[in-house]
Amino acid sequence: MKKFIGLLKLEFKRIFSNSVLMAIFFGAPVGYGILFGFVYQQAKVKNLPIVIVDQDQSPATDKIIDAFEDNEGLDVKDVRTVPGNIKREMPVNQYIAVITLPSDFEKDLLQKRHPEVRVDLNMANILNANTASNHINTVLMTINAGIEIEGLKKQGIHPDQAMAAYESFKINFNKLYNSTGNYVTFMLPGLLAAIMQQIIFLAMALVFSRDFEDGYFGQLIQESKSSVYHIALKATPFLIMLPFMWLIISLILTFFNVGVEVINFQMLILTTLLTFASMFMGMLFSIAIPSQLKATELLMVISTPAFILSGFTWPTSAIPEVITNVARFIPVTQYLSGFRKVAFYGGDFASIMPEIKFLTGIILVAVITMILLLQFKINRLNRRQN
């Protein structure tokens, strides 16, 4: 035991001697967590810039312009009478939409000619375009309904009857699970989980490959010929440090008021399994590829697209099945699936059992393969030394 503790102290010294690794290991979760938290702090997309081309300049179009100015999601940057060169201005000023109210708009309304309002959307950013489209549609539909009801009232119909005649039925949207549409709640936990997987991969990619490169592994096997012993020795420092990193992550989520339940027993199980699965996958690559650079590069190739392929933001039903089948074996995919069930749907332990089983399977396969491969390398190196 004293020998193990002595080697463990040496492991900590070797780990902390790598300044780049330490900067990434401790700095990335904190730095990215705070950065992404402030990026999504507004929670909703607001004040999207639009231009209104008022070719009629009538009381009716003035009312529509006022309605657009009162909408919190839109920001009327300019009201003009002629379009000008909108295609040239749109990319420069980042206008999300140009709304054109045609000539004789009010006159055509009064004569029931159904004038057409043209909306040109900037689709370069689909999220902004869809958000702006919803706000624009809401404003125009509200104005349209008001005009129709006012027309019926002028014909002598009672206001209640006029409203009932226009609205055949009512629509009531009841938003569940993140009802406010808060982007901090939606994006931040998933991004931080993907970042944690990536830094664990990066750290574990170096634990054995570094020893192979500088010859330190040859000294280690003089202390023990057991692969389990060396795996435990390499994993212990990170098992001590990683709980503190997850604690920092939880504090960041609390600081930014993430509106879902992320601190409970189910999440503790999922987080523990994600940690072990990421560690052992990283260690396996470190053993299989005796080059720090190559092991790191390969794990980054796996980890970089993991968040997109996980189905957290883009539905897996829209991704080719062959890709989703591969993505299932990336630990964060299973973690984020379980996270959504627990955090958003209030799922219990039974609801995340499929993810628990899959992550446990990844851990077992990685550990068994790692033990066998490392034992083979120990035996081969020992024969060479003898």
User: Distance (Å, rounded) from C-alpha 319 to C-alpha 311?
Assistant: 9
- pLDDT, residue 169, reads 47
CB 132 within 8 A of CB 158: no
> Could you count the other beta carbons within 10 Å of the beta carbon of residue 113?
11
CA distances from 13 to 9, 77, 371 (A): 6, 58, 24
Sheet of strand 48-54: strand arrangement: 74-80, 48-54, 97-101, 118-121
In angstroms, the CA 166 to CA 164 distance is 5
Rounded alpha-carbon distances, angstroms, from residue 382 to 4, 115, 291, 370, 385? 20, 87, 20, 18, 5
> What's the pLDDT score for residue 214?
79
pLDDT at 272: 94
Q: What pLDDT score does 323 carry?
A: 83
Closest CA to 33 of 233, 234, 227, 262: 262
What residues have CB less than 8 Å from 142, skipping those under 6 apart?
A: 67
What averages of pLDDT result for each successive group of 10 residues across the chain (386 residues)?
A: 79 79 80 78 77 88 88 87 80 85 83 83 79 85 71 62 55 64 80 90 86 80 85 90 90 82 86 94 89 82 80 76 85 90 85 93 94 89 76
d(CA 377, CA 44) in angstroms, rounded, equals 54
DSSP E strands, the chain: 48-54, 74-80, 97-101, 118-121
